[in-house]
Structure 1
């Protein structure tokens, strides 16, 4: 596997305005990857999204979706119907997050047992 390191030029390592810091901050939110992964196949209504994710409160889902919408990672579309219908989908930037999410999943598949065994003192 070949991984190319990105040079962030004038930024120091992980300074507050460095793009790498933004990426680390994004991935530190446990629900970000779950929501992006769940929306990978297309738009979903909030109720369906919550059922697909499981173990997320309505309040947390709403807060997370609003925050991701403000970051241009998720798009909210409201339909003028009675009753109103809302769907969430990934923006281009949100879809691009699937690349590192899939890479992290591949890493976990390859090394998860080793890490878990080390954490619990198994041989």
Structure 2
């Protein structure tokens, strides 16, 4: 479980569900994450065999990241968590701010 406890893993993995992406595309899709945290998370996902990097012999060089089969399987609980947050998040946010939930 410790390997999946990184809060940024779903943030980086989610946009890869749309297919292979270049580093710059992926960092924009990941939203409010620092460059350092983004790079660290992406490298960790590679070591965990959730993401594969492809280097193309072109000028200028092009590198894309894509989910492996295991990475695609991980999207199932990530999507489920996103749906749960969408449904329950507003009430939880209101409760933590001292407001009464709907």
TM range (shorter): 0.7 to 0.9
1:106 and 2:83 are equivalent in the alignment: yes
In 2, distance between residues paired with 1:114 and 1:55?
23
Counterpart of 2:65 in structure 1 is 88
Give RMSD over aligned pairs: 1.4
Counterpart of 1:68 in structure 2 is 45
Q: How far is the alpha carbon of 1:61 from its aligned partner? A: 2.1
In 2, distance between residues paired with 1:59 and 1:109?
28
Counterpart of 2:15 in structure 1 is 38
Question: Larger relative contact order (C-alpha < 8 A, sep ≥ 6)?
Answer: 2
* 1:69-91 deviation line (CA, Å, top 9, x unaligned): 01100000001112211000000
Structure 1, gaps ≥5 residues long: 1-20
Length, aligned pairs only: 100
